[in-house]
Amino acid sequence: MKLPKNLLAEMITHSLEQDPEECCGLLLGNGDEVSRLIRVQNVHEDRVSRFSMAPLDLLEAEREADRRGEIFVAIYHSHTYSQGYPSDTDIRNAVQSGWTDPYYVLVSLVEKTRPVVRAYRISSAGDVAEQFISVLGAGGYTSGTTRPRVNE
C-alpha cells in the first residue's frame, strides 16, 4: 500500500484527537495507492475498545468515491490500549461484512508519543497477513516501512 506522509500524519492526528476512544475512517484512492482520507464517526456504544462506522458517513463516502472513480483502499482505526494487530473482533467483523478487499490499517497508541501504524489483509477465511506500507514523502521520495512512526 502506498500512503502519502501527510495522510499518515492525519490518521495519527485523528487517533490522538479521539483518544481514549477508538477512531475510524477510510483511505481512498486507486489500486493500492491512497490519495484521500475520510474520517468516519465511531458510533459503537463502547468506543473505548470497539468501533462501528456511522452508516450515513459510510454511505456518503461510498457515493463520493463512486463520483470520483475511487475505491476504498483501506479501513483504518485506532487501538488506544493495545498493539496494532487485528483483534478477534476486527477479524470477525471483516469476515462477516465481506470486506476482505481493503487493507486494514491500525494505529496503536500504546505509546502516545510514538504511535505505530501497521497494515494487514484479512482473508475471507480470517487469515491475517501484515502488508508493507510505502510512505510517500512530500518531495516524491518513498521510505518504506511496515511501522511508520510520528518522529521518523
Domain ranges of the chain: 2-145
Please give the residue that has the higher pLDDT: either 43 or 27.
27
Q: Hey, is 151 helix, strand or coil?
A: coil
Flag whether pLDDT at 122 surpasses 50. Answer: yes
At the topology level of CATH, where does 2-145 sit? Cytidine Deaminase; domain 2 (3.40.140)
> What integer is the mean pLDDT of 34-56?
88
Residue 99: the pLDDT is 83
Residue 62: the pLDDT is 93
Flag whether pLDDT at 148 surpasses 70. Answer: no
Flag whether pLDDT at 142 surpasses 70. Answer: no
Flag whether pLDDT at 88 surpasses 60. Answer: yes
Alpha carbon distance 114, 132 (integer Å): 19
Q: Please state whether beta strands 33-40 and 71-79 pair in parallel, antiparallel, or not at all (unpaired).
A: unpaired
> What is the average pLDDT score of the chain?
88
Residue 49: the pLDDT is 79
Q: Among 65, 80, 99, which residue's Cα sits nearest to residue 23? A: 80
Alpha carbon distance 146, 136 (integer Å): 13
